[in-house]
Amino acid sequence: MTDITPFLLSLLDLPGLSGYEKPASEMIAKQWQPVVDEITTSTLGSLHGLRKAHGSTKAPRIMIATHMDAIGMMVTKIDQGMLRFTHVGGVDPRILPGQAVIVHGRRVLRGIVQLIPDRLLDSHSAGNAPDYKFLFVDVGLPEKEILKLVQPGDLISFAQNSFEMDGGYVAGHSLDNRASVAALTICLEELRNTELAWDVYAVATIKEEESGLGALTSAYAIRPDIAVTIDVTFAKGPGSTDYRTFPLGKGPSIGVGANIHPVLVSEFTKLAKEMDMPYGMEVMANSSGTDSMMMQITAEGIPNMVLGIPIRYMHTSVELVSVTDIYRTGKLLARFISQLKTDSAKTLFEKFANE
């Protein structure tokens, strides 16, 4: 098993905001090359890696979705040389003052996000929590030059570099969801020398943070019999301590709720126990908030499972993950896939369908 950390660290530093995932897509394709049989791109740009089943007959299909897009910002207006912007995906504006960012204009520019100083605001806006209305990016260039290099629609990504912390932890700004891409890569490596009964579609989806339509359209094209999403979930941390959070480094979360098929809940928990793997149950009563929401309702419907990798400080420039959890998640998924038989699509769901 290769060390996934170098791939993860490089992937984290790439831009690849929703709608503009190409840089990430290219790196992932390279990493998947040795462990899949075919690599294609969907019409909208999701990356499909197919690891074929043994034998040439029409095998059942499992699709695993890990979104490769990251959150960030986008330029809306240039105001006397200062860049005004909006968010792409959910970015809490309160983390922005003082952030180093990269503006992807006609050339790459480094910038600083800051607050319009209180003394320049009227009294009822001063002192308030940071809001997009009063934030801007300064790239330190004269206005004339900026107008040549930057235009509305240009992307802004976090400049924070990824780094390792002792004990097997990695921090960076797009662990959501590149940690899951890494887990899926580990899964594919685990299965490298295994004969499979099912076709495995590893899909790095686009635009999850905006609309989930990457997963919807890829699932429509692939029509899998089972779909699994790997996404990040909330790790216990300051201010995040309730039942929706999981201890960092104590295993993945297995989802349960309306978006997840009860049969798959049983299967995955059974396997985790067999593997002596720690895990948590993530109850999602109404919505899982992941690609599975789209995949479940595609075409005639698809049974779904959601696996979560706990990270702290989700949707910030300093997300934190335990690399061990990434390995665990990849291996749990590999185990599930390796024990699927040719008739599992029927036998797994038989009891449920006939009760």
Give the residues lining the site for another protein (CB under 8 A).
18-20, 22, 42-45, 74-78, 84, 86, 88, 133, 151-153, 207, 210-211, 213-214, 216-218, 220-221, 242-244, 256-259, 261-262, 265, 281, 283, 285-287, 296-303, 349, 352-355
Dihedral sign from CA coordinates of 191, 193, 199, 205? positive
Smallest gap from Cβ 186 to another protein, in A, equals 27
Cβ atoms of residues 23 and 16 within 8 Å = yes
Residue 348 CB contacts under 8 Å (≥ 6 apart), including other chains: 263, 267
Smallest gap from Cβ 84 to another protein, in A, equals 6
Residue 145 CB contacts under 8 Å (≥ 6 apart), including other chains: none
Q: Which is nearer to another protein, 9 or 17 (CB)?
A: 17
Nearest alpha-carbon partner for 62 in 353, 337, 342, 347: 337
Q: Which is nearer to another protein, 186 or 306 (CB)?
A: 306
Smallest gap from Cβ 209 to another protein, in A, equals 10
Smallest gap from Cβ 9 to another protein, in A, equals 26
Q: Which is nearer to another protein, 1 or 147 (CB)?
A: 147
Nearest alpha-carbon partner for 321 in 273, 256, 250: 250
Q: How far apart are CA 173 and CA 316, in angstroms?
A: 6
Q: Which is nearer to another protein, 122 or 355 (CB)?
A: 355
Total Cβ atoms within 10 A of residue 34: 10
Smallest gap from Cβ 22 to another protein, in A, equals 8
Smallest gap from Cβ 1 to another protein, in A, equals 32
Q: Which is nearer to another protein, 42 or 338 (CB)?
A: 42
